[in-house]
Structure 1
């Protein structure tokens, strides 16, 4: 099978998958099972579409992840059905959800759906210093937006054992990883102390977002189920393994 992990656009993924099936396997009447364990972003939805469109693919088992990387009609409002570009986005897939008012899922909602509810529950019970990292990150992003307003979603990399570091040390390491110049205002730590003292409020907000994570995940997965049912395929959604092993444990299976 071709390596398709570096292909960003959904249509390229679809073309690559079809090429792998038809060109590398020209045997007539050959049947395929399409599987994906934690297939990232658009790839999982593309597998579902390929199953529906490709006669040779007679079954699919898909365990998705990274919902925030899904291309949506909110991201490309002028594309999709208007220009007959069926592969321009991967949510929503079903006609039922497309017709619902306010069906859009913004990036923040999709990002929240990737949180690990079970793991975070343990962190809350243990009440460790790890919890303060949410406030560290929130204040850091406030600093970045203030100094670099053109950066909408800063790709902040993990700072090892950041919860054991003084906040300003954490900020310096984060800016180095982002390859950004440190703002002069950082020397005045008093302006950040009031925000850091509200870390429990940040934890509360984060906890609420984690609580609704599974709801958003189910919306995305049920949309794919509805798409399959609209195309007259039998399908099933089930928890394949324990969420403590991986929070992305739900699989969609379908067959012809």
Structure 2
């Protein structure tokens, strides 16, 4: 609070302010919600979260899901894969499917192939945050791996890369179909996370709602969770 008061040059002990978070990653979103609930000086919060796969599911100070008493009592569970699915840009993916230029979607098979190699090398590399690579025409699997691992200290034997590349080339269309089927569950998972957060805020005496405010083709995470403490207007 001392930092906030200094920034706004206020000595008022009842100083009020709000939180606006645009795409806070993973646990940062849930931590902002906890800060809002636990700090009486914060009167409102507007937040659009992202990167759900980086949420913590263990019961501790940094728990990202579940937050609400309802979901905790019912022992609702999510895992990395389901939350990762909820982070994809469905509308953009559908647009690519409609153009029939499916080769751009081969990038997902490349990522699956790289994951196979990383897990084979070291289980600790499972679900590593590799670099984001945009597909280019005639891109090879080896080129993809080089770019994706550019910031990681991981060396892949060329022979292993060639073996997986053959598998990728033979099955990438199946990966696209499987990936498309997974995306049917994406809105469900994101809704579970958002409603858990809505309940968490409502349980702490706040007026709250969820509003889609952005064009989802530009910002796939377009739902704003808004809350205002009921007592805030009394000051």
Structure 1 gaps, min length 5? 1-17, 74-78, 81-86
Distance 1:132 1:55, change over 3 A: same
Distance 1:64 1:251 in 2: 8
**201-210 or 19-28, which deviates more:** 19-28
SS at match of 1:157: coil
Distance 1:234 1:172, change over 3 A: closer
Distance 1:20 1:42, change over 3 A: farther
1:154 is the counterpart of 2:128: yes
Distance 1:231 1:160 in 2: 43
1:94 is the counterpart of 2:68: yes
**52-61 or 155-164, which deviates more:** 155-164
Of 98, 101, 108, 1:125 maps to 98
1:116 is the counterpart of 2:99: no
Distance 2:139 2:84 in 1: 26
Of 48, 57, 60, 2:33 maps to 48
TM-score normalised by length of structure 2: 0.85
Aligned length: 226
SS at match of 2:62: coil
Distance 1:153 1:59, change over 3 A: same
Confirm or deny: 8 A CA contact 2:107 2:135 kept in the other structure: no
Confirm or deny: 8 A CA contact 1:36 1:64 kept in the other structure: yes
Distance 1:175 1:250 in 2: 32
Matching of residues 154-233 of structure 1 within 5 Å: 154-159=128-133, 161-186=135-160, 189=162, 192-233=165-206
2:12 is aligned to 27
Confirm or deny: 8 A CA contact 1:116 1:210 kept in the other structure: no
Confirm or deny: 8 A CA contact 2:210 2:226 kept in the other structure: yes
Matching of residues 130-145 of structure 1 within 5 Å: 130-145=104-119
Distance 1:32 1:100, change over 3 A: same
